[in-house]
Amino acid sequence: MAMLAISRFHWQSAVDFLVLAVALYFLLRWSRQTRALRLALSILALRVAALLARQLDLLITSWVLDAATVITILALLVVFQPELRRAFMRFDIRGRPRQREQRSALSAISTAAWSLAESRCGALIVLARKDSLAELMTPGIPLNGQISPEVLIAIFQKGSPVHDGAAVIEADVIARVGAILPLTIRTDVPDQYGTRHRAGMGLAERSDALAIVVSEERGEVTLMSETRARLVPDRDALVTALTALSDRSEPVRRRTRRLPQFGLQATAVALAALVWGVTFLFPGRSVQVRTVPVELRNVPPGLIVSGQSSATLQVWLRGSQFLFDTVNLGSVAARCDLSAAHEGVNVIPLSAETVDTPFGITVEALAPRQVRVQLLNASRAPSD
């Protein structure tokens, strides 16, 4: 039965599996970055359980699991609506609008940093890039506000309740404020560096994020990336440095991220295989009787079909009710190969392998078990 199912694996099935795996990969990657991984995995688990319940004809159970899946999806859409909006905003075919928005955001950040420096107001601004920062900092207070110099300046004023934490920029929005970052464990930290500088260094060392630190005592702006910390002389220099770092894909980061990325891809393929197996390979419990046509193929040259004992046959098809409700059974037919036939009467045996069925549906029985085909030499065929 398994070998027969594999033999009916068409190219359409391969495309469907690939699309499913890619969709799961993007879902897992997004959910990992937004701390929605558990919710996404719960949705997948509920969906697999619903498919399995439907395969076992557990009607009420499948309804309950389907309802739970819908509720969980709605919860995902409501709870992570800002993250979903930012994810859709990232889709850009040409990339030009995205680049213009990024330059505008970097310019606003630089303007705010230098305005804070001139007024001797300390600040810590984090620019997230590819690495997820969820495990490296406290959640802070969600803001999801538009980037502007005025908003950033207001966040770090002395009277602001979140001025001691970091403002985190993600996908060109101020995602959260008041976040607490991990301090560096390096021993070669300059003596003039305070808590903000040590926190910026600690985050930059552990991720590919950029940290902009404004010194309250000295009115300086320091840009931190990985293990580097450099003073920025003016606003234009900060914009240039941020643009260069944001556009550059660093080989070291790529090497360190390959294994997690590969693991995510493997997980997506494994989950796709699980969903696929439960949907198509699990033995179905529903049987339908269909009348299908008998198609004669590869008739030898010079011969014509002058008659056949049956133009149709009955087949008993087994599969899940889900597949019967979704696939097109109109293309099911018994295809007989006559390449080895000869002039006269030929007895062609019929079997499950003769009937071409959609993937996941098997032939339990058929009748008749053979068809008689009479071939006639074309030169002897009676003329009208």
Report the 10 Å Cβ neighbour count for 232: 21
| pTM greater than 0.85 | no
303-308 sheet: strands from edge to edge: 303-308, 370-377, 344-349
The reported pLDDT for the residue numbered 207 is 86
Tens digit of each residue's pLDDT, the chain (384 residues):
444 444 455 666 677 778 878 888 877 776 665 556 777 788 888 888 887 787 776 778 888 888 888 898 888 777 766 666 655 655 554 444 455 556 788 888 889 888 898 899 999 999 988 777 877 888 888 888 888 889 999 999 988 888 888 999 987 789 889 999 988 888 888 888 888 899 988 988 888 889 999 988 888 889 998 888 888 888 888 888 888 887 654 433 433 344 355 677 887 888 887 777 766 666 667 788 999 999 999 999 989 999 899 999 999 988 777 777 777 788 889 989 999 999 899 999 998 888 888 877 888 889 999 999 999 988 776 665
* Exposure string for 312-345, b = 16+ CB within 10 A, e = fewer: ebebebbbbbbbbeebeeeebbbebebeebeeee
Q: How remote is the C-alpha of 93 from its chain's centroid?
A: 18
| Distance in angstroms (rounded) separating the CA atoms of residues 32 and 261 | 11
Structural domains of the chain, ranges and CATH numbers in brackets? 2-89+254-281 (no CATH), 96-248 (3.40.1700.10), 286-379 (2.170.120.30)
Tokens in use for 355? 């009937």
Backbone φ and ψ for 74, nearest 5 degrees, come out as: -60, -40
At position 298, the amino acid (one-letter code) is N
Query: Exposed, middle or buried: residue 161 (CB in 10 Å: 0-12, 13-18, 19+)?
Result: exposed
